[in-house]
Amino acid sequence: MSTNLWKERKANAPLKQELPGPSKSSSISVDPVIKMPLDRSRKYGKKRLFHTAVTSSDSVYNTWQCRIMYYWFKKFRDGPNSEMGGFTRILHSGKPDKFMDEIPTFVAQPLPPGTDQGYIVLNRPWAFVQWVQQANIKEDYILMSEPDHIIVKPIPNLAKDGLGAAFPFFYIEPKKYESTLRKYFPEEKGPITNIDPIGNSPVIVGKDSLKKIAPTWMNVSLAMKKDPETDKAFGWVLEMYAYAVASALHGVANILHKDFMIQSMIERHLQPFVIFRTFTSSLLFCDIYQPPWDTEVGNKYIIHYTYGCDYDMKGKLTYGKIGEWRFDKRSYDTVVPPKNLPLPPPGVPESVVTLVKMVNEATANIPNWGNVKKKKLN
C-alpha cells in the first residue's frame, strides 16, 4: 500500500479484551499430531495460492530484516512448485515509513499505551486482527512469517483438507500445563491434546479460519498476560500458546511437519527461558533450519536466523562466547549490516555460509541499502 492510501486502511476497530466463548464453528475432530505425507505432490487442477504476511515495527532492526526477506520472497515466488501469492508487511507503528513503496505494506495501529504490559509481542496478534478485518486479501490462505526468515526455495501450500500447516515446537507443552490452559480451553471443548504444540509462525492457514482465529488469539493473549499464574508459566512464549489455544477453540487442527525438521540434541534439553534469554540454542520449524545448530540446508524452505553464529578461525563453534568470526542479527539493532559481510572461515557448516551469502546478495541488490532512517512526517 502506498503512503497516500494508508489512511484508507487505518485501524479503527475497537479492541475487545473479553474472553471468547466456545466456538460454534468447531466441527473438526482429529488428532492434531499428523505426520506430513511422504507424497507431497499436488493433485489440484490449479494452484492454491497463499499470501505471506510479516508483522514489523518501524525500527531499523526490523526494517532491514524485512527488506532482505522481501528480496528473497520475490526471487522464489514464481519458481517451480511455488504457491506463493502476494506479500504484506503489517507495520504496527501506526504510521507509514519510507519503505511503503518498496515493500507492500499495511499500516496497523499499535496497542493502546500500557496494554502490552511490557510484552511487545502482543502487537503481533493485534496487527493481524486489523489486517484480516480490513485488507483486501485475494488469496485463500495465509502464511504467517517473521522478519528474520529467509526463503531458500519456492514454497508450496502445505495446508490441506481444512487443516493448517505448522511446526511442533518441543517447548510448547499443552499436556504439561493442562491446569493452566483449562482457564482458556474448557473441558467441554475436548481433550487438551486438541491444542497443537505450535506457535503462530511459521503457519499456513486458511484465510477464513484466520479471520476467526485472530480476534480470539488477541483476546486469549491479553487474558493470559493479565493472569499472574499464566504469565509466569509461559513467559515469552505466552503469545505462542495463545495462538495454539485460539486455533483449537475454532476447531482448526494443524498438520505438524516434524518429519522434515533438523534439530540439535542440545536444544531438546533446554527450557524456554534459557533459549529466549541466552540465545544459545535453536528453535526449528517444519521446513526451516536455523544456523548454527542446523548444519545443512537440505530440503528446507526457510532460514530462521534467530541466534548468533560464533566461530574461531579454524571453523570451530565457540559455544557460549563471541567468536573471532561472527554473524548475529543483534549486532545490527540500530544500524544495518554492511554490504559484503566476510564469509565464515573454512570448516564452518554449510548453513551458516549459505545464510551469509544470501544476506550479501540481498544487500548488494536492494536499492539504497543502508538508508533506513525513519521518515519525517509533516
DSSP letters of 67-100? Answer: HHHHHHHHHHTTSTT--EEEEEEEETTSS--TTT
CATH of domain 28-34+46-256: 3.90.550.10
With left for phi above 0 and alpha for psi between -120 and 50, is residue 212 left, alpha or beta?
alpha
CATH 3.90.550.10 domain position(s) in the chain:
28-34+46-256
What is the per-residue pLDDT for 371?
59
Burial class (CB in 10 A: 0-12, 13-18, 19+), 23: middle
CA distance 238 to 35: 25
What is the per-residue pLDDT for 187?
97
CA distance 166 to 121: 19
| Strand-pair category, 84-91 with 105-107 | parallel
Q: To the nearest whole number, what is the mean pLDDT of the chain?
A: 81
| Helix or strand holding residue 266 (H, E) | none
Write the DSSP assignment of 140-174 as a string of letters: SEEEEE-TTEEE-S------BTTBEEE---TT--T
| 122 grid coordinates | 502482543
Give residue-wise pLDDT tens across range 207-256.
Answer: 999 999 999 999 999 999 999 999 999 999 999 999 999 999 999 999 98
CA distance 341 to 357: 8
Nearest-Å Rg of the Cα atoms of the chain is 20
Q: Cα 134 to chain center, whole Å?
A: 21
What is the per-residue pLDDT for 33?
35
225 and 122 in contact (C-beta within 8 Å)? Answer: yes
pLDDT along the chain (378 residues), means of 10: 42 41 35 36 70 96 97 97 97 96 97 92 97 97 93 92 89 96 98 96 95 98 97 96 98 77 34 35 36 60 84 90 93 96 93 92 95 47
Query: DSSP letter at 369?
Result: T
243 and 198 in contact (C-beta within 8 Å)? Answer: yes
Alpha helices for the chain (secondary structure H): 60-76, 123-134, 178-181, 207-226, 228-234, 238-249, 272-278, 350-365
Give residue-wise pLDDT tens across range 146-176.
Answer: 999 899 889 999 999 999 998 888 889 999 9
What is the per-residue pLDDT for 277?
32
Q: Is 359 helix (H, G, I), strand (E, B) or coil?
A: helix
What is the per-residue pLDDT for 80?
95
3-state helix, strand, coil in the chain (%, to 5): 35, 15, 55
251 and 26 in contact (C-beta within 8 Å)? Answer: yes
| Strand-pair category, 50-56 with 84-91 | parallel
